[in-house]
Chains A and B, each alone.
Chain A
Amino acid sequence: KQEVTQIPAALSVPEGENLVLNCSFTDSAIYNLQWFRQDPGKGLTSLLLIQSSQREQTSGRLNASLDKSSGRSTLYIAASQPGDSATYLCAVLRSNDYKLSFGAGTTVTVRA
Chain B
Amino acid sequence: EVQLVESGGGLVQPGGSLRLSCAASGFSFDSYWMSWVRQAPGRGLEWVAQINQDGSVKYYVDSVKGRFTISRDNAKNSLFLQMNSLTAEDTAVYYCARDHIVGATNFDDWGQGTLVTVSS
**Bound pair: A and B?**
no
